[in-house]
């Protein structure tokens, strides 16, 4: 009800005549905006603010209720934005696989425009510029995070071992693993972009990056009300100023690092992702003037920011859920540990190549992403054309959310509320591809997460290494709450674990 409390002072400061005039305008505009929704069902909402007051602290449960009442495709209003929510395993998968281009644009939210002026990869328009940036970004991720990249393998192994050390250092006392996980995953993406560092935790630029990320996540955890209610800028002035300040500092820090790297750039010896981006600006002959696709050099170098956005929060949040589930389900933890030992022994070194040999460990990661709903709604989409979904016409220029949480909790999953990694394995213990593809933590289609390759390797190596060397225990008298905190990611509430060393 925070938004209603925002409205109160505004209304109180208006005289009666002005309020009546505004009310009439709002009703007329609402009528015009909702006229095109006649063929799409949906709940009633307030004029001007729409359905925001009904969503509460855990919108996912409200969206689930709407789905039961109105079906897989229904309409709501998010402030001034007419919005369609698409839910359900079959519907979401079909749309993202067969109609992806129709939903590949991004809305002109104020925060998106501020971040990249809608020219970037994550928050840009769907056009030839986007397609070229996507091509470049994907090639760089493959080159510098693939199985053949020994440096990235070393970084992942070092961070996995450091995470083990941080856990064991607690000497079996209950502790919150959040800080250690954030620093490990932050270090991975930082070194992926800028290269392997010595004593990375003492690098002042890295320390500042972690601090800025923590502050940025705190500011944006409840979303940006001014994106859907532009007229509330006055009430969120301080939050907006902090948002602008943090994004400016982040951009300046990235530009500083890129300028430093440019001085030692060698086209014959590419060291990391930023080198890869610089190399592509040369390959495509990019400068300050747009090429035929509308791309300039700054656009490509700006992909660094997309790497940080794509390769940090989702991995960190998934690891937090993984260790929570391992503490809650020790019998599943034991099966993961047995699989690891059967493949590499008790004192071996885990590599990303072992992923193919450890299907139960992979299934445990998939099940964690499915059940927890790590990325419940994904980033917003915007229709590029009129499109038909399940008999409903969604007009061009409509804000659309794909309800990934509903996909993971669809009735097609047997006992969907249970934590059961075996659901992803066939009778021979191999992963069932059709089922793993129904876990949409990295989305699908044109806007599939750019950093998926790196993220999957990182999740496997950090998780498997910790379970090889540690036993995760639930502290005595600790009660876990599996209802998470809703934001861009769905994070577990703060919790504690105990860690016992398994070093052989």
- CATH number of the domain residue 370 falls in: 1.10.630.10
Among 21-35, 42-56, 107-121, 358-372, the range scoring the smallest mean pLDDT is 21-35
DSSP structure string for 340-389: HHHHH-TT----GGGGGG-HHHHHHHHHHHHHHTSSSS-S-EE-SS-EEE
d(CA 364, CA 361): 5
Q: How confident is the model at residue 504 (pLDDT cuts 50, 70, 90)?
A: low
In DSSP terms, 105 is beta-bridged to: 382
pLDDT cut 70: percent of the chain above it: 91
Given this model, what pLDDT does residue 260 score? 96
**Residue 222 in this model has a pLDDT that exceeds 70:** no
**Residue 10 in this model has a pLDDT that exceeds 50:** no
Cβ contact 325:317 at 8 Å: no
Given this model, what pLDDT does residue 348 score? 82
**Residue 37 in this model has a pLDDT that exceeds 60:** no
| Three-class secondary structure assignment of 314-327 | HHHHHHHHHHHHHH
**Residue 9 in this model has a pLDDT that exceeds 60:** no
**Residue 16 in this model has a pLDDT that exceeds 70:** no
416: exposed, middle or buried (C-beta count within 10 Å: 0-12, 13-18, 19+)? Answer: middle
Number of structural domains found in the chain: 1
Given this model, what pLDDT does residue 217 score? 82
Given this model, what pLDDT does residue 7 score? 40
Cβ contact 119:113 at 8 Å: no
d(CA 7, CA 12): 9
Angle at 393 between CA 388 and CA 397, to 5 degrees: 100
Arithmetic mean of pLDDT, 379-407: 95
Given this model, what pLDDT does residue 12 score? 46
d(CA 186, CA 50): 37
Among 203-217, 224-238, 310-324, 371-385, the range scoring the smallest mean pLDDT is 224-238
Among 53-62, 153-162, 282-291, 318-327, the range scoring the smallest mean pLDDT is 53-62
Q: How do residues 451-500 score in pLDDT, each as one tens digit?
A: 899 999 999 999 999 999 999 999 999 999 999 988 778 999 999 999 99
In DSSP terms, 473 is beta-bridged to: 498
Given this model, what pLDDT does residue 223 score? 67
Q: How confident is the model at residue 38 (pLDDT cuts 50, 70, 90)?
A: low
Arithmetic mean of pLDDT, 369-386: 94
Arithmetic mean of pLDDT, 195-208: 91
Given this model, what pLDDT does residue 422 score? 98
Among 48-57, 87-96, 157-166, 259-268, the range scoring the smallest mean pLDDT is 48-57
pLDDT cut 90: percent of the chain above it: 70
Given this model, what pLDDT does residue 2 score? 40
| Residue-range definition of the domain harbouring residue 350 | 2-501
Cβ contact 186:312 at 8 Å: yes
The residue among 202, 194, 215 whose CA lies nearest residue 152 is: 194
Among 11-25, 265-279, 312-326, 339-353, the range scoring the smallest mean pLDDT is 11-25
Q: How confident is the model at residue 117 (pLDDT cuts 50, 70, 90)?
A: confident
Q: How do residues 339-361 score in pLDDT, each as one tens digit?
A: 999 998 766 899 999 999 999 99
- What SS3 class is residue 501? strand
Given this model, what pLDDT does residue 218 score? 81
The owner of tokens 């109180």 is 12
**Residue 6 in this model has a pLDDT that exceeds 70:** no
Pairing label, strands 399-402, 81-86: parallel
Given this model, what pLDDT does residue 378 score? 87
Average pLDDT, the chain: 89
Given this model, what pLDDT does residue 147 score? 67
Given this model, what pLDDT does residue 4 score? 39
Arithmetic mean of pLDDT, 256-281: 97
**Residue 189 in this model has a pLDDT that exceeds 80:** yes
């Amino acid at each position: 009800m925070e938004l209603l409390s925002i409205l109160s002072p505004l209304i109180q400061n208006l005289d009666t005549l002005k309020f009546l005039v505004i009310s009439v305008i709002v009703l007329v505009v609402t009528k015009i905006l909702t006229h095109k929704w006649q063929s799409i069902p949906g709940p009633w909402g307030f004029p001007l603010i729409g359905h925001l007051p009904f969503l509460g602290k855990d919108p996912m449960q409200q969206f689930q209720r709407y789905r039961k009442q109105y079906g897989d495709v229904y309409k709501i209003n998010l402030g001034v934005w007419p919005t369609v929510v698409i839910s359900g395993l079959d519907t979401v998968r079909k749309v993202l696989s067969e109609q992806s281009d129709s939903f590949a644009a991004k809305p002109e939210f104020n925060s998106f425009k501020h971040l990249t002026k809608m020219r970037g990869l994550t928050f840009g328009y769907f056009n030839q510029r986007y397609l070229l940036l996507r091509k470049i970004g994907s090639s760089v991720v493959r080159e510098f995070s693939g199985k053949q990249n020994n440096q990235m393998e070393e970084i992942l192994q070092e961070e996995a071992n450091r995470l083990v050390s941080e856990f064991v250092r607690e000497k079996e006392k209950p502790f919150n693993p959040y800080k250690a996980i954030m620093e490990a995953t932050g270090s991975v993406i930082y070194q992926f972009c800028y290269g392997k560092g010595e004593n990375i935790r003492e690098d002042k630029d890295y320390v500042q990056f972690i601090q800025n990320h923590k502050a940025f996540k705190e500011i944006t955890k409840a979303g940006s009300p001014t994106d859907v209610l532009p007229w509330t800028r006055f009430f969120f002035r301080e939050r907006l100023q902090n948002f602008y300040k943090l994004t400016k500092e982040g951009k300046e820090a990235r530009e500083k690092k890129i300028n430093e790297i440019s001085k030692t750039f060698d086209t014959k010896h590419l060291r990391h992702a930023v080198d890869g981006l610089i190399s592509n600006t040369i390959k495509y002959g990019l400068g300050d003037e747009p090429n035929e696709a509308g791309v300039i050099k700054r656009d490509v170098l700006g992909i660094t920011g997309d790497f940080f956005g794509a390769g940090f929060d989702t991995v960190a949040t998934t690891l937090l859920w993984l260790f929570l589930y391992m503490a809650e389900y020790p019998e599943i933890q034991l099966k993961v540990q047995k699989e690891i030992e059967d493949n590499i022994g008790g004192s071996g070194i885990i590599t990303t190549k072992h992923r193919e040999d450890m299907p139960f460990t992979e299934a445990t990661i998939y099940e964690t992403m499915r059940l927890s709903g790590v990325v419940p709604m994904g980033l917003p989409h915007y229709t590029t054309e009129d499109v038909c979904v399940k008999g409903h016409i969604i007009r061009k220029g409509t804000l659309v959310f794909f309800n990934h949480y509903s996909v993971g909790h669809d009735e097609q999953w047997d006992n969907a509320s249970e934590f059961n990694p075996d659901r992803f394995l066939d009778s021979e213990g191999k992963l069932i591809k059709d089922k793993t593809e129904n876990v949409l933590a990295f989305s699908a289609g044109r806007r599939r997460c750019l950093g998926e390759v790196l993220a999957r390797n990182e999740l496997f190596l950090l998780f498997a290494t910790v379970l090889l060397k540690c036993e995760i225990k639930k502290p005595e008298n600790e009660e876990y709450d599996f209802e998470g905190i809703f934001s861009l990611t769905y994070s577990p509430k703060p919790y504690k674990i105990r860690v016992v060393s398994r070093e052989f």
